Amino acid sequence: MPDARPVRVLISKIGLDGHDRGAKLIVRNLRDAGMEVIYTGLWQSPISTVHAAMQEDVDVIGVSLLSAAHMTIMPELRRLCIEHGIPRVPLTVGGIIPEEDKPELSKTCDGIYNPGTSMQSIVDSFRALSERYRRERDAARETPNIQTPTGLARALTLIVEDRMKEIGALAKPAEKTIRIGVTGAPGVGKSTFIGKLANKLVERGRRVGVVAVDPTSPLTGGSVLGDRLRMMTHTPDPRLFVRSLSSAGMAGGVAPKTREVADCLQSAGFSIVLIETVGVGQSEVEVRKLVDEVLLLLMPGAGDSVQFQKAGIHEIATGFVVNKCDLDGADHTIHQLRESIDDGRPVWSVSSLRIEGLEPLCDWIIGKTQ
DSSP one-letter code for 300: T
- The pLDDT score that the predictor gives to residue 106 is 97
- Considering the four listed CATH numbers 3.40.50.300, 3.40.50.720, 3.40.50.1970, 3.90.550.10, the one that applies to the domain covering 178-367 is 3.40.50.300
Q: Where are the beta strands (DSSP E) in the chain?
A: 8-13, 36-39, 60-64, 91-94, 111-113, 178-184, 208-214, 223-225, 240-246, 272-276, 293-298, 319-322, 347-349
Alpha carbons 187 and 145: distance in angstroms, whole number: 37
pLDDT at 310: 56
pLDDT at res. 1: 35
Provide Rg for the chain, Cα atoms: 21
Mean pLDDT by 10 residues, the chain (370 residues): 79 85 93 97 93 98 89 97 97 94 96 94 98 94 94 97 94 94 93 96 97 95 93 89 95 93 98 94 85 95 60 85 94 88 92 96 96
* In contact, 23 and 11? CB cutoff 8 Å: yes
On whether the CB atoms of residues 36 and 223 are closer than 8 A, the answer is yes
Asked if domains 8-140 and 178-367 share a fold, the reply is: yes
φ, ψ dihedrals at 181, nearest 5°: -85, 135
What is the pTM assigned to this prediction? 0.95
Sign of CA dihedral 305, 307, 312, 313: negative
Phi, psi for residue 11 in degrees, rounded to 5? -115, 125
Domain 8-140 has CATH 3.40.50.2000: no
Domain range annotation of the chain: 8-140, 178-367
Beta-sheet strand order (sheet of 272-276): 240-246, 208-214, 272-276, 178-184, 293-298, 319-322, 347-349
